[in-house]
Chains A and B, each alone.
Chain A
């Protein structure tokens, strides 16, 4: 009975997760011509990847995006969750404000990216404001289609992934710990830093897994928000795919997968995912 119940999930995952990934690993060892794939077993795709300087600059760039996004989403997400969990008094308001903060997650990412164009563009709201207030005479051009706008969009899109697990975590903290800290004479900051933050480690780890993996594998946000001027691992892979260099793209994919798995494995040491929900 239990096996019948789990079978549909397993079948879907086998067909649309395990098989595709396995095939990518296989194809990464294939050869290719301008028009077709040639089944083979060669290391050439990996050799080309590791001997190319571009690979390293692209990975560095991607790590830069990851680090900046992770930092900002963590600080913002933690603060928002902390406000909701400890400063909003009634459960009704907590839920209402929590929903207000999470609903944008259920709308289109692409639209949320496009939405920055009239705000940050050359004639956008920010530049109009700056110029009319006399702070600048020329429009600032690095606001849109730059690394700045890429990170801004990431933070805009993914902070929710920090808010939700950290808030969930905070709601399960026994309030008597906090009372005890105050009673023992701890200041607000000390309580936050020595009691709340350590107890929130699982939530922070889950949020970090989401944010880091989403940014590591992203290509849409980087391509759209940098206006094609910046590259990430995902963008590079997509470019090779567009040139029909599937084996080369597959080798890229395998290395990316390994990097992501290492990061996730490290974060998993902090949290027992099944119990933390």
Chain B
């Protein structure tokens, strides 16, 4: 009983600390979400001067805040590409690492290095290499590569965490019953780790969709949305900036929501199958 009381003594201050941390994380974001609904006469700070959708309309109507619509579509397309490639490559690499191969240490540390190398350095290097090799930098070539250098390490780290906790007896059972290696992967491993693969896809999509630092010199002449947004931070002095911020965050939250829903469905279906109900 002594134990319980000492733990509970720390509970309330820690809970307060946690709540403050969450407020710190989300508070400022709510400030700009609110301000993006400013009235037409409103400014960049509180108080609210009426409530309207004026600044969202401004975003869609005029070109004076930059080419928002095409960069938006470009970023979504790129994020989808990055998501699919990240899931496939991470899964394959994860399978290879499980069984080990010659030089796996080198590849592992190379992947980690790709994650922690300063972004400005990498974007400079990618821009330079396309320039020196005589290729034009494009969002679907150099831009795609720059994003993969950022999403693949996360994908691989997740695969490591998944396979470190993977119960090998499932696939051994499958092999004992005569499954080929391909069948083991397709019918045993992938169904078991499917929720984690959705997680890898979520990381791939959102990290690409919001990527700025590595894109800077790798996108070529056609901007991705974060580059467009960054340009606006210095030139746009109306709540249009906040409206765009709100819109981008809504997209992120929709993608996160869909992923969680899919993970939930996958887990429920598995539970149903296990219990035979």
- List residues of chain B with CB within 8 A of the CB of A257: 117-118, 121
User: Contact mask A12-33 → B, CB, 8 Å, 1/0?
Assistant: 1101111111011001000000
Complex CA–CA separation, A21 to B7 (angstroms): 50
Given contacts A27-B128, A118-B44, contact A108 B101 (CB under 8 A): no
Interface residue B107 (Cβ < 8 Å from any Cβ of A) = yes
Complex Cα spacing A21 to B4, Å: 54
* Contact indicator A79/B17 (Cβ below 8 Å): yes
Once the chains bind, are B118 and A277 in contact (CB under 8 Å)? Answer: no
CB-nearest residue of chain B to A6: B96
Q: B125–A20 contact, CB under 8 A?
A: yes
Known contacts: A13-B110, A123-B45. The answer to whether A109 contacts B118 by CB under 8 A is: no
Q: Which of A1-51 contact B (CB under 8 A)?
A: 1-3, 5-6, 8-10, 12-13, 15-21, 23-24, 27
- Establish whether residues A2 and B101, one from each chain, have CB atoms under 8 Å apart when the complex forms: yes
Inter-chain CA distance A12–B115, complex, in Å, is 13
- The one of A110, A128, A217 in contact with B121, judged by C-beta atoms closer than 8 angstroms, is A217
Query: Is residue B189 within 8 Å, beta carbon to beta carbon, of the partner chain?
Result: no
A80 at the interface (CB under 8 A from B): yes
Bound together, the chains give a CA A238 to CA B161 distance in angstroms of: 36
What is the 8 Å Cβ interface bit string for chain A, positions 127-167, against chain B (1 contact, 0 not)? Answer: 01000000000000000000000000000100100000000
* Alpha-carbon distance between A128 and B249 when the two chains are bound, in angstroms: 27
Contact among B18, B108, B110, B206 for A18, CB-based, below 8 A: B110
**B134-181 at interface with A (beta carbon < 8 Å):** 142, 145-146, 148-149, 152, 156-157, 160-161, 164, 181
- Which residues in chain A, 163-211, are within 8 Å of chain B measured between CB atoms? 168, 179, 182, 187-188, 209-210
Q: Would you call B121 and A5 a contact (CB within 8 A)?
A: no
Chain A residue at minimum C-beta to C-beta distance from B88: A8
Measured CB to CB, the nearest residue on chain B to A121 is B45
Most B Cβ at <10 Å: residue of A125, A220, A256, A257: A220
Other A-B pairs beyond A2-B96, A156-B24, A257-B117, 17, CB < 8 Å? A2-B95, A5-B96, A16-B148, A20-B126, A100-B22, A101-B21, A106-B210, A107-B210, A108-B229, A111-B245, A114-B245, A115-B31, A115-B32, A179-B3, A182-B2, A234-B120, A260-B117
The 5 A-B residue pairs with the shortest CB-CB distance, nearest first, are: A217-B118, A20-B125, A115-B28, A16-B145, A5-B96
| Interfacial residues, chain B to chain A (CB-CB below 8 A) | 2-3, 6-7, 9-11, 14-15, 17-18, 21-22, 24-29, 31-32, 35, 44-46, 88-90, 92-93, 95-97, 99-101, 104, 107-108, 110-114, 116-122, 124-126, 128-129, 132, 142, 145-146, 148-149, 152, 156-157, 160-161, 164, 181, 202-203, 206-207, 209-210, 212-213, 216-217, 226, 229-230, 233, 241-242, 245, 248-249, 252-253, 256
Interface residues of A (CB under 8 A from B): 1-3, 5-6, 8-10, 12-13, 15-21, 23-24, 27, 76, 79-80, 82-84, 86-87, 97, 100-101, 103-104, 106-112, 114-119, 121, 123-125, 128, 156, 159, 168, 179, 182, 187-188, 209-210, 213, 216-220, 224, 234, 237-238, 241, 246, 249-250, 253, 256-257, 260, 264, 273-275, 277
